[in-house]
């Protein structure tokens, strides 16, 4: 019975292949086909075949590493990769790549979660590896000759010098933002003990409407903070404080209000991880950075000699110190500040994509309310776009809190005892 079914499947496949080839040949002249085949340069064809097989072999090796070498053999995953490549060429929009999941589940008995998670993770790796090539292609081909008249940002000045165009800045911004999916994946995998859930949270980060709007609304250095703060929190969670400080400092350099998010991370390190020295240094550094930005740098370069942002908190106080103390000593003013319709809508738009789960994590949700206080412009028309442009620091806190809220109560606020 099984042999007859296999023979029927083979004959059906053979018949479909013959019919497809016959239909394709009916669309062209036989003489043209012969002339084209006779004009093929065989060494180039052989080189293409070798490169194609080598690429398939490397892709199969990567799949096997993601799946686990003990779960599937080299020959089996290589055949799966060849079939996957065949269907990618046959079907539009790379839909044939889904055959990889089907073959792993039906032919090798692996779980759907494992197949889907390794498929999505491989797609992320493909995007990251192709981004530099895309950037070089833009530099080589060119998309215009427009030059920016503003001062070049320090961290992107080298690339901008190679190709002086707004396109350079937009491509760099997209690449840096997308890199935030990596720490989101790491955090979810370690907290939830699930590769599939890790992929879900990485995609949740990449598909977040707030992040998409910020990326599409021109170039703003603060958009980099989405990825940088996620790396900072991941290294803090793993107690790798050297990496944490590097990512935190780079994040604070993107916008004057980002130190407020880093300050909250310092509280997390001090009170949750009980590393009071590291947490205290973090809070002090963030507070000093914010005070320097709001109280020294911005007023110095403002013709009026004062920070224009402080006037938004007149109901709490006139200066930075009065505003900070007013948050605690003036509860009515703080309540009115947090419950403005524009800010309530902002919080709703920020938390709704993750079903408000971030509110269930007391250890990390503070960054959401920090952003609610700092976002004070009315969200209307152009101002709405401007508000979301600076929403970069909010997205990492939302992702962190949602992952933590998805854990058991203890694992939501605990951290590994030692780095790995």
pLDDT in tens, 252-276: 888 888 888 899 899 989 998 999 9
- Give the residue from 181, 265, 262, 177 showing the smallest Cα distance to 221: 177
Distance of CA 31 to CAs 20, 24, 25, 26, 36, Å? 19, 14, 11, 12, 9
Give residue-wise pLDDT tens across range 133-151. 665 554 444 444 333 333 3
Q: CA 89 to CA 310: how far, in whole Å?
A: 58
Question: Both tokens of residue 222?
Answer: 């603060």
**Residue 104 pLDDT > 50, yes or no?**
yes
Chain centre distance of CA 229: 12
Band (pLDDT 50/70/90 cuts) for residue 82 is: very high
Count of C-beta atoms within a 10 Å radius of residue 150: 6
Mean pLDDT of the chain: 76
Cβ contact 223:388 at 8 Å: no
Q: Categorise residue 390: left if φ over 0, alpha if ψ from -120 to 50, beta otherwise.
A: alpha
Give residue-wise pLDDT tens across range 292-331. 887 777 787 777 776 776 777 777 777 667 777 877 788 8
Q: CA 179 to CA 224: how far, in whole Å?
A: 10
pTM passes above 0.75: no
């Amino acid at each position: 019975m099984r042999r007859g079914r296999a023979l029927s499947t083979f004959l059906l496949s053979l018949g479909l292949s013959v019919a497809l080839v016959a239909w394709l040949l009916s669309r062209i002249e036989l003489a043209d086909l012969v002339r084209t085949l006779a004009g093929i340069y065989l060494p180039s064809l052989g080189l293409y075949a070798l490169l194609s097989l080598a690429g398939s072999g490397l892709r199969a090796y990567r799949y096997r590493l993601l799946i686990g070498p003990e779960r599937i053999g080299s020959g089996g995953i290589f055949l799966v990769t060849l079939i996957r490549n065949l269907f990618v060429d046959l079907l539009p929009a790379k839909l044939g790549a889904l055959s990889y999941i089907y073959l792993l589940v039906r032919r090798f008995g692996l779980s759907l979660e494992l197949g889907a998670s390794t498929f999505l993770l491989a797609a992320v790796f493909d995007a990251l590896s192709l981004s530099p090539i895309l950037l070089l292609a833009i530099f080589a081909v060119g998309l215009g000759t427009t030059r920016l008249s503003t001062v070049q940002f320090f961290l992107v000045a080298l690339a901008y010098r190679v190709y002086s165009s707004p396109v350079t800045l937009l491509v760099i911004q997209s690449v840096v933002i997308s890199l935030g999916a990596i720490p989101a994946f790491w955090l979810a995998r370690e907290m939830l003990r699930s590769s599939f859930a890790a992929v879900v949270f990485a995609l949740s980060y990449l598909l977040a409407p707030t992040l998409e709007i910020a990326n599409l609304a021109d170039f703003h250095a603060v958009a980099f903070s989405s990825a940088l703060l996620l790396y900072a929190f991941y290294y803090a969670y793993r107690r790798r404080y050297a990496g944490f400080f590097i990512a935190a400092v780079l994040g604070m350099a993107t916008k004057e209000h980002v130190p407020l998010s880093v300050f909250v991370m310092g509280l997390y390190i001090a009170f949750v991880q009980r590393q009071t020295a590291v947490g205290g240094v973090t809070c002090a550094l963030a507070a000093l950075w914010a005070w320097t930005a709001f109280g020294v740098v911005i007023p110095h370069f403002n013709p009026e000699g004062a920070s224009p942002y402080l006037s938004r908190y007149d109901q709490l106080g006139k200066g930075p110190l009065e505003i900070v103390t007013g948050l605690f000593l003036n509860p009515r003013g703080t309540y009115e500040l947090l419950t403005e319709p524009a800010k309530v809508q902002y919080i709703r738009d920020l938390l709704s994509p993750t079903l408000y789960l971030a509110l269930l994590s007391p250890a990390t949700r503070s960054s959401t309310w920090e952003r609610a206080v700092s976002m004070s412009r009315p969200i209307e028309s152009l101002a709405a776009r401007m508000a979301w442009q600076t929403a970069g620091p909010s997205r990492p806190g939302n992702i962190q809190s949602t992952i933590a809220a998805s854990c058991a109560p203890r694992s939501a606020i605990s951290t590994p005892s030692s780095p790995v």
